Structure 1
Amino acid sequence: MKDVPEKCISCGVTLLGIGGVRFPCPSCGVIIARCNRCKKQSNIYTCRSCGFTGP
């Protein structure tokens, strides 16, 4: 199993408690973590493994 990120991929905030989300990259499957704020604001993220970009 791959390491699960503990920081938001968009802003770098540490994910603690409720509201953050972890999901597989739609392109390569690497786990991506996002904080509640970036998720709600649809901030752009880029997968560090394959370069996939999403809102």
Structure 2
Amino acid sequence: MKLTAVLMVAVLVLTACQLITANECSRKGEWCGLESVLCCNGGSWNCWFVCTA
């Protein structure tokens, strides 16, 4: 049961992080995959893991 709770919290944190990152990227007029440290380090897949990288 504890493991499930930990996983749920991790997913919520990562999702919030993804949304914040996406907002930050669009504010700067950049998109996932373009060269920018905040906007995903050059790979659209990395965009979703920018907070853990």
TM-score interval, normalised by the smaller of the two chains = under 0.3
TM-score, normalization: structure 2? 0.22
Rg (Cα) greater in structure: 2
TM-score, normalization: structure 1? 0.21
